[in-house]
């Protein structure tokens, strides 16, 4: 069974029923943002959680131990090279004593749930890939969100995914998809994908009550938070880049987990690096909203 080792700060916060926000480590490793932006992301996300009155708890597998909450020295470790660990990989990372497993959304949600943490913040979730009717390529993030009682706070899903099918999958799985003071499902770098969310919420208290009232005891909630207007990228520019990058993936046989870093790299090149500040801004904003939700849940 999954039994994460919590830092002293996180353990005490859980014992005292104080707010904790879990964070993934993939975005902070070399698999996520390039250096030094990954360090900036880590600092900004943790600071946003603390400003909101919650305790940040980065998830990772270090030396074969599943961790929830890291020390400053351990924060330094996750900034470097790592092996990506989705939920399915965590048991392998433990058994094989991986030096550093950078946890994805699915792994982080599972780790948070195992420790009794109700809120997790990330940048954007994975979803149903375009052409999944042929490849069967669906991110494990969706099953994790549907299978663990955690509020996942994200800027929607990556724009290169099949967003209508992603929403259909979540509906079938019984996951409430909420829009944070917004009516549209965000597409990571843009505030709206053109697809409506099922329900709009105006307060953190509403989110907490929805989690508490869910009909399936093990299911979670997806809270989508649009990127701030000042950080949003141009949708028409992105569409052209995405089409080109996905065509290149098809020609080169790039599939599965390799698609995300490839496409994000092409976006960074095409936008002259403007996608990096946007990524930082949305991750920080999500962390701030997650802290607000975590505090509301802790206060009941």
Residue positions annotated with a catalytic role: 24, 158
Mean pLDDT of 83-88: 97
Q: What is the pLDDT of residue 244?
A: 79
pLDDT tens-digit series, residues 205-244: 999 999 999 988 889 999 999 999 999 988 887 777 777 7
C-alpha distances out from residue 174 to 181, 212, 279, Å: 21, 14, 29
Please name which of 157, 111, 110, 114 lies closest in space to residue 138, comparing C-alpha atoms: 157
C-beta pairs of 165-168 under 8 Å, 24+ apart in sequence:
165/127, 165/128, 165/132, 166/127, 166/128, 166/142, 167/195, 168/128
With beta carbons less than 8 A apart as the criterion, state whether 120 and 150 touch.
Answer: yes
Checking if the pLDDT of 273 tops 90, the result is no
Confidence of residue 257 (pLDDT cuts 50, 70, 90): low
pTM of the complete model: 0.93
pLDDT tens-digit series, residues 110-130: 999 999 999 999 999 999 988
Checking if the pLDDT of 87 tops 90, the result is yes
pLDDT tens-digit series, residues 165-177: 999 999 999 999 9
Q: Provide the CA 114 distance to its chain's centre, in angstroms.
A: 17
> Domain 5-299 falls in which CATH fold?
Indigoidine synthase fold (3.40.1790)
Please name which of 122, 224, 207 lies closest in space to residue 170, comparing C-alpha atoms: 224
Output the average pLDDT for the chain.
93
Q: What tokens appear for 69 in the block? A: 């909450």
Checking if the pLDDT of 71 tops 90, the result is yes
Residue 47 has phi, psi (to 5 degrees) of: -65, -40
Checking if the pLDDT of 250 tops 70, the result is yes
The DSSP secondary structure of 31-42, one letter per residue, reads TSSPTTHHHHHH
């Amino acid at each position: 069974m999954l039994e994460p080792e919590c830092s002293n700060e996180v353990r005490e916060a859980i014992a005292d029923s104080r707010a904790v926000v879990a964070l993934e480590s993939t975005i902070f490793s070399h698999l996520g943002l390039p250096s030094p932006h990954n360090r900036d992301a880590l600092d900004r996300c943790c600071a946003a959680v603390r400003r909101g009155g919650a305790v940040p708890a980065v998830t990772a597998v270090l030396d074969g131990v599943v961790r929830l909450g890291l020390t400053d020295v351990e924060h330094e470790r996750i900034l470097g090279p790592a092996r990506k660990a989705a939920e399915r990989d965590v048991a392998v990372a433990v058994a094989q004593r991986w030096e550093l497993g950078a946890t994805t959304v699915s792994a982080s949600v599972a780790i948070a749930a195992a420790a009794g943490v109700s809120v997790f913040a990330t940048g954007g979730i994975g979803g149903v890939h375009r052409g999944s009717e042929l490849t069967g390529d669906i991110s494990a993030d969706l099953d994790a969100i549907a299978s663990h009682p955690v509020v996942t706070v994200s800027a929607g899903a990556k724009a290169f995914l099949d967003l209508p099918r992603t929403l259909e999958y979540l509906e079938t799985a019984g996951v409430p998809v909420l829009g944070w003071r917004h009516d549209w499902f965000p597409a990571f770098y843009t505030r709206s994908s053109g697809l409506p969310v099922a329900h709009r919420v105006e307060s953190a208290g509403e989110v907490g009550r929805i989690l508490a009232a869910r009909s399936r005891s093990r299911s979670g909630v997806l809270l989508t938070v649009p990127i701030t207007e000042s950080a949003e990228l141009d949708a028409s520019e992105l569409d052209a880049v995405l089409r080109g990058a996905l065509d290149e993936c098809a020609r080169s046989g790039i599939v599965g987990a390799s698609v995300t870093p490839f496409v994000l790299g092409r976006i960074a090149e095409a936008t002259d690096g403007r996608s990096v500040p946007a990524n930082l801004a949305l991750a920080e904003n999500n962390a701030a909203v997650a802290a607000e939700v975590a505090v509301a849940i802790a206060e009941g």
